[in-house]
Chain A
């Protein structure tokens, strides 16, 4: 357990907030009633200047999933002992440097898993059953004019390949099984506790699936893992759903495959260069786009607030963190 210096009684402990994360924007008052909050975005100083001037003794940081917590930021936080990120993903944190300095890292664990899995299913149903496209059709007043609407495709009985069978992947599997889908997966290691078919080779998973759902973390190994070869293996009737990180998919190839009918559709919550989205996708009816909002429900936002506070308060009370990421 990381040690910290004792703080004065009745004075709330100090934290620095970097990002700032959405949960902080929603629950600013509540955070501020429990902690003394340093807010670099409100200062005219640059971040390094702000940190040098005011964060030399700060022991805990609350950061967003989009804030790059690099070694150069860490350089300006000599007293930091805990970084809590509001995301499940940790690819934005220099873990090597944190481990070297004995800084504990905590994340959002699996509190978003249901919401993210729900969105994966929602995007998939939308693509197959043309829900957003149908909604546009009706709301444009076209139904009385154009009559019959093009048919969609059945979900039941389809083979679903899940890339990454962590908490989110397992939730997706459980949901899609109820729709009569056959589940198989690819993962760093086979999971003996599940009965789904395991494919160590992602191309073979794609070749044996009608639908590919990306649920894995973004790492050096998974960067652009879904490339042209995988997409072609998925095939002309295949559907891709990405609720993980944009960079797991080679976005240029994905756009080209969609435009040329090499795959039949895609549901995408994440992109390589958010908030920028390839404009070619705007013209396509077989694509559903969402602005990386899988975790933004009122319920999850509240759960996240409680988890973040819980981690910070545990740290300042010398108690075990609620969602510590163990060293591998």
Chain B
């Protein structure tokens, strides 16, 4: 396969342009001087080769992604298999890629069952559902979807903070019930100027900080190591929680960060403190969180993620100071399309023996 390498100045990292037929068609790059017949033959051959590649999609995640995977590859839908282990045995030899997300990825058992697996492309930035050690061991590539979803997740964190402190959801409910009477009001809590503490100052943590600063919120953070920023660093989550009004979980989920927000942290955050979780459910000790909220030891919470999605503790349903969302951090039309395109481009790059766009392993 012929390829030329070109640097595209408008992109932040070099990408590789191809002069083989599929990419010419996609990228409007002038092809090498092949005849139309040869080009068409090459296109069909390549497409046919791609269509023979088995890709296993773990759960429904995005209609556009599913349609495109179905067009370009031999797509298997794991969630539609009535007998998953039989299915895996039957098709193991043809599955070369897995597409997972925050709900279902590739654990050790699945990886072992797919001897031809070459790549796991996650429709998420979080990698907690993928056994990365196993992938490294077996030389299986892993990609995710960083950067494209950073803004949306950070936006949602701020949206949750405002919704909880200003009781926006409760007030909407009150008006919709026709209950609004003149002179009736409750005082809520001002957001501007509140101290925001961020656990994890990666891409998303920094984006949250940038937005909160525009509301004159002083920013502090906890991270594995101190970063080169002006934000105040705390060496422990408990110290961070003691010194902020709003605590945001924005780190990756690993064995070390599981239950990083525990009872001690919640007590330190206190009865006027608010917890915002846009990370992963297991970051927070959920039963402890429920008691802290029900008993009033914690001032409020905005939660986009839970330990056992889609199950959410029912004791939270009646609490005015709690806002619950069904894991929609990256859930916008624009971003899900960008994420899907990134998954597709990573898979195509891999099967064309080209560098992956967003490799993790």
| Candidate in B159, B169, B188 with the most chain A CB atoms within 10 angstroms | B159
Within 8 A of B (CB), among A143-161: 143-144, 147-149, 151-156
B175–A277 CB distance below 8 A: yes
Whether the pair A154, B335 counts as a contact (CB closer than 8 A) is yes
C-alpha spacing A173/B215, complex, angstroms: 11
Q: Are A296 and B332 closer than 8 Å at their CB atoms?
A: no
In the assembled complex, B256 has its CB within 8 A of some CB on chain A:
no
Encoded as 1 (CB less than 8 Å from any A CB) or 0, chain B from 189 to 220 comes to: 11111000000000000000011011110000
Number of interface residues of B (CB under 8 A): 59
With A151-B336, A293-B171 in contact, is A179–B186 under 8 Å at CB? no
Q: Is B160 an interface residue (CB 8 A)?
A: yes
B312 within 8 A of A: yes
User: Which residue in A143, A144, A282, A290 is a CB contact (below 8 Å) of B168?
Assistant: A290
Give me the 5 closest cross-chain CB pairs, A-B, nearest first.
A122-B162, A125-B159, A178-B214, A114-B192, A143-B310
Q: In the docked arrangement, what's the CA distance between A135 and B158, Å? A: 15
Question: Given that A123-B168, A135-B163 are contacting pairs, would A151 and B185 also be in contact in the complex, using a CB cutoff of 8 Å?
Answer: no
Q: Which residues of B contact A137 (CB under 8 A)?
A: 326
Would B331 and A152 count as touching, CB distance under 8 A?
yes
Q: Are B332 and A151 in contact (CB under 8 A)?
A: yes
Collect the chain A residues with CB atoms within 8 Å of residue B318's CB. 139
B158 touches A125 (CB 8 A): yes
A126 and B163 within 8 A (CB): yes
- Are A153 and B181 in contact (CB-based, < 8 A)? no
- Judge whether B159 and A143 touch: CB under 8 Å: no
- Determine whether the beta carbon of A132 is less than 8 Å from that of B168: yes
- Could you say which of B14-22, B68-76, B149-157, B263-271 contacts chain A? B149-157
In contact, B187 and A298 (Cβ under 8 angstroms): yes
B172 pairs with A138, CB closer than 8 A = no
Q: Which residues of A contact B146 (CB under 8 A)?
A: none
* B323 contacts partner chain A, Cβ-Cβ < 8 Å: yes
Hey, which chain B residues are within 8 Å of A139, CB to CB?
316-318, 324
Is A175 at the interface (CB under 8 A from chain B)?
yes
A291 to B170, CA, bound (A): 11
Q: Please indicate the chain A residues that have their CB under 8 angstroms from the CB of B184 in the complex.
A: 275, 291
Q: Convert B224-253 into 0s and 1s, putting 1 for each residue whose CB lies closer than 8 angstroms to a CB of A.
A: 000000000000000000000000000000
Residues of chain A within 8 A (CB-CB) of B87 are: none
Check A71 for interface membership: any CB of B closer than 8 A.
no
**Most chain A Cβ neighbours within 10 Å, of B166, B216, B323, B332:** B166
Check if B190 sits within 8 Å of A298, measured CB to CB. yes
Return chain A residues, CB-CB under 8 Å to B187: 26, 296-298, 301
Identify 8 new A-B residue pairs, CB closer than 8 A, beyond the known A138-B325, A154-B155. A118-B162, A122-B168, A135-B163, A149-B326, A152-B328, A177-B214, A178-B214, A293-B171
Contact indicator B190/A114 (Cβ below 8 Å):
yes
B155 to chain A, nearest CB (A): 5
- A residues contacting the other copy or chain, number (CB 8 A): 59
Q: Assess whether B333 is interfacial by the CB under 8 Å rule.
A: yes
**B334 pairs with A175, CB closer than 8 A:** no
A260-303 interface mask toward B, CB cutoff 8 Å, 1 = contact, 0 = none? Answer: 00000000000000110101001000001111010011111100
A100, chain B: closest CB distance, angstroms: 31
Q: Which of B188, B189, B216 contacts A114 (CB 8 A)?
A: B216
* B155 close to A125 (CB less than 8 A): yes
Q: Which residue of A lies closest to B150 (CB)?
A: A156
Given A130-B328, A151-B336, A289-B175, CB of A297 within 8 Å of CB of B189: yes
Are A179 and B175 within 8 A (Cβ)?
Answer: no
A121 on the interface (CB 8 Å rule)? yes
B185 touches A299 (CB 8 A): no
Interface bits B313-329 vs A (CB < 8 Å: 1, else 0): 01011100001111010
B314 touches A149 (CB 8 A): no
Tell me if A22 is interfacial: C-beta within 8 Å of chain B: yes
- The one of B166, B173, B174 in contact with A119, judged by C-beta atoms closer than 8 angstroms, is B166
Pairwise interchain contact B215-A118, C-beta atoms closer than 8 A: yes
- B130 CB to nearest chain A CB (Å): 21
Considering the complex, give the chain B residue whose CB is closest to the CB of A142: B326
Closest to A19 in B: B183
Chain B residues near A22 (CB-CB < 8 A): 183, 185
Q: Return the chain A residue nearest B336 by Cβ.
A: A151
Question: A residues within 8 A CB of B137?
Answer: none
Which listed residue (A132, A135, A178, A274) contacts B213, Cβ 8 A? A178
Q: Does A129 contact B (CB under 8 A)?
A: yes
Closest beta carbon of chain A to B158's beta carbon, Å: 7
Contact A300 B171 (CB under 8 A): no
B83 within 8 A of A: no
